[in-house]
Amino acid sequence: MAIATIMTVAVSCNSKKEAPKEEKPKILVLYYSQTSNTKAVAQEIATRLEADMEEIVMVKPYDGDFQATIERCLQERAQGVIPEIKPIAADIASYDVIFIGYPVWFGTYAPPVTAFINNTDLSGKKIVPFCTFGSGGLESSVKDLKENEPNAEVMQGYGIRAARLEAMPQEVDQFLKANGFIEGEYTQLDEFPEQHEVSEEEVAIFEAAVGDYPMIHAKATTVASRTIPEGVEYLFTAVDLPREDNPKMPPAGEMQVYVTVAEGANPIFTKVIR
């Protein structure tokens, strides 16, 4: 009986030692960047996750200024042309999670990312979008990703205005912790309460946040606010106003504008959802 007991204990100990460890998912941070803004986000994510990183490189880069790039994109869109990219060196099939980064152009991911998506099977992968933008486009680009990759798990992702890039490291840290990619404490924000009609003070906050941004010409109608670690965050509902400088341009309709007022700082809008 003593021998049997010893053997049972030994087997039990060996079973514990031989229990398979849960393997960490293999992660790739893949990105396209023209002005290095998206590259900065990619580097931050890859560093924090100790992940592999690769850049999407065009065969014929957009090497002009902003206006030249816009004109070329418009021409390509009119002709149904997707720019060619160089082959991806990473073995996509070997990764479990792929972070895909891009600037938002025309409300969605930039054309080089379209080229990658069109030519790559991402079925069964977990896709984490991240992007930089002038005013917004995370939500619309994620919607396009989900439509084009129906067999992948596409997360809501992370986006930031290029004008707010200094806030990116802290926001990336919170995003990765909130979604379980790294351990640590993060702030769980309360939901916005029901919106109410804007007051004169809230109108002033809205106008101070968007007044110098040429792509927003709107009037705030309702608002809700919540406390955040930096101060107060507002969610405005606004409607486009006719443009005196371009009366033929039709109003884009209703939009949601997120505005942050940090303690001792001026209001700044963080994103627009149209």
DSSP 85: B
Within a domain: 104: yes
CATH of residue 114's domain is 3.40.50.360
Check whether residue 164 and residue 219 sit in a common domain: no
Asked if 139 and 245 sit in the same domain, the reply is: no
User: Would the pTM of this model clear 0.85, i.e. be above it?
Assistant: yes
> What tokens does 59 get?
């065969």
| pLDDT-flagged residues of the chain (< 50) | 1-13, 15
Residues 105 and 224 in one domain: no
Domain match, 150 and 93 both: yes
* Whether residue 172 sits in one domain with residue 112: yes
Query: What is the DSSP code string of 219-244?
Result: EEEEEEEEEETTEEEEEEEEEE---S
Pair (44, 116) in one structural domain = yes
Question: Is residue 248 domain-resident?
Answer: yes
Amino acid occupying residue 8: T
Q: What is the predicted pLDDT for the residue at 11? A: 47
pLDDT of 6 reads 46
Token pair of 237 as six digits: 């509902």
Provide the 8-state DSSP code for 35.
S
User: Do 155 and 220 lie in a common domain?
Assistant: no
Domain span including residue 56: 27-178
Q: Is the separation of the CB atoms in 181 and 51 below 8 Å? A: no
Residues 41 and 98 in one domain: yes
Helix, strand, coil share of the chain (percent; to 5): 35, 25, 40
User: Is residue 258 one of the residues assigned to a domain?
Assistant: yes
Nearest to 111 by CA among 138, 160, 74: 74
Residue 87 near residue 116, CB atoms below 8 Å: no
Asked if residue 8 belongs to a domain, the reply is no
**Same structural domain for residues 51 and 165?**
yes
Q: Is residue 259 part of a domain?
A: yes
Tens of pLDDT, residue by residue over 23-43, are: 889 999 999 999 999 999 999
